[in-house]
Amino acid sequence: MIKYNPKAGVWMPNELFLSPAYQCLSKSSRNLFHCLMNELRYTKGNYSNKRTFTNNGGVSLTEIQFKERFQCTSQTYLNARDKLIEVGLIKLTYRGGMGRGDMTKYEVLALTNLPKDKQRWLKYPEMNWVSDIPKAKGLTIGKNTRFKKGQSARKVISHPNELDPKI
pTM: 0.77
pLDDT per residue as tens digits for the range 55-71: 888 899 988 999 999 99
Q: Which whole number is the average pLDDT over 43-62?
A: 77
CA-to-CA dists, residue 156 to 160, 161, 167, angstroms? 12, 15, 20
CB atoms under 10 Å from CB of 84, counted, come to 27
Across the strands, what pairs with 70?
none
Q: Report pLDDT digits (tens) over 104-128.
A: 999 999 887 788 888 889 998 898 8
Q: Domain spans of the chain?
A: 14-138
CATH number (3.30.70.260, 1.10.10.10, 3.40.50.1370, 3.30.70.890) of 14-138 reads 1.10.10.10
